[in-house]
């Protein structure tokens, strides 16, 4: 499984499509993408997205800044199987930005974003590396995350679809 650089323009009405690849060895004994690979594809796509904006982790938690975060909650719903290796996408967006928390949504979908295989959300909390207590996101991270914020109009469009 690999993650490719993010696309310059996104064909989705909100958020960003990040290309991902499903390899043959990601498939289970039934020839479907193993359930544990869906969140991994999402995680790798988010890492590529943030990495494309200069947010990386090199092993030093004290220098990690906004990359020093923990998962508070994760939910995923599997809608249809991925039945072959190939090129797909992770559709990424931000649901909510709090002072120390960030809720993001994701879909694992066809490369063009038209077909959905799984969808979910994840809640992250930024933590201080020494105290391991919640700490505020930087202004830079908040600005970048705001660019992926899903509008209320998108919620209405999704309900109508």
Q: How confident is the model at residue 52 (pLDDT cuts 50, 70, 90)?
A: very high
* Total length of the chain: 161
The number of C-alpha atoms within 13 Å of 97 and in the hemisphere containing its C-beta is 18
Q: Average pLDDT, whole number, for the chain?
A: 90
Q: In the beta sheet, which residues pair with residue 105?
A: 93, 121
pLDDT greater than 90 at residue 153: no
pLDDT greater than 80 at residue 11: no
Closest C-alpha to 127, from 50, 49, 52, 62: 62
Q: Which two tokens stand for residue 135?
A: 């700490």
Q: Is 147 helix (H, G, I), strand (E, B) or coil?
A: coil
Cβ atoms of residues 126 and 134 within 8 Å:
yes
Closest C-alpha to 13, from 115, 93, 101: 93
Q: Provide the pLDDT for residue 154.
A: 64
Q: Provide the pLDDT for residue 155.
A: 54
> 68-105 pLDDT, tens per residue?
999 999 999 999 999 999 999 999 999 999 999 999 99
pLDDT greater than 90 at residue 24: yes
Count the Cβ atoms, other than its own, within 10 Å of residue 37.
22
Average pLDDT over residues 41-46: 96
pLDDT greater than 70 at residue 10: no
Q: Which two tokens stand for residue 44?
A: 């790798």
> 140-150 pLDDT, tens per residue?
999 999 999 99
Q: Provide the pLDDT for residue 8.
A: 45
């Amino acid at each position: 499984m690999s993650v490719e650089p993010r696309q310059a323009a996104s064909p989705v009405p909100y958020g960003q499509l990040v290309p991902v690849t499903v390899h043959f060895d990601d498939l289970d004994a039934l020839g479907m993408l193993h359930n544990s690979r869906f969140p991994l594809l999402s995680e790798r796509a988010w890492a590529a997205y943030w990495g494309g904006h200069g947010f990386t982790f090199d092993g030093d938690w004290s220098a990690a800044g906004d990359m020093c975060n923990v998962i508070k909650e994760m939910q995923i719903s599997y809608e249809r199987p991925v039945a072959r290796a190939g090129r797909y996408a992770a559709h990424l967006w931000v649901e909510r930005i709090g002072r120390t928390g960030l809720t993001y949504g994701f879909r694992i979908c066809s490369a063009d974003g038209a077909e959905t295989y799984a969808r979910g959300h994840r809640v992250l909390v930024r933590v201080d590396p020494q105290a391991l207590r919640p700490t505020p996101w930087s202004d830079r991270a908040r600005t970048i995350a705001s660019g992926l914020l899903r509008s209320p109009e998108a919620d209405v469009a999704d309900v109508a679809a």
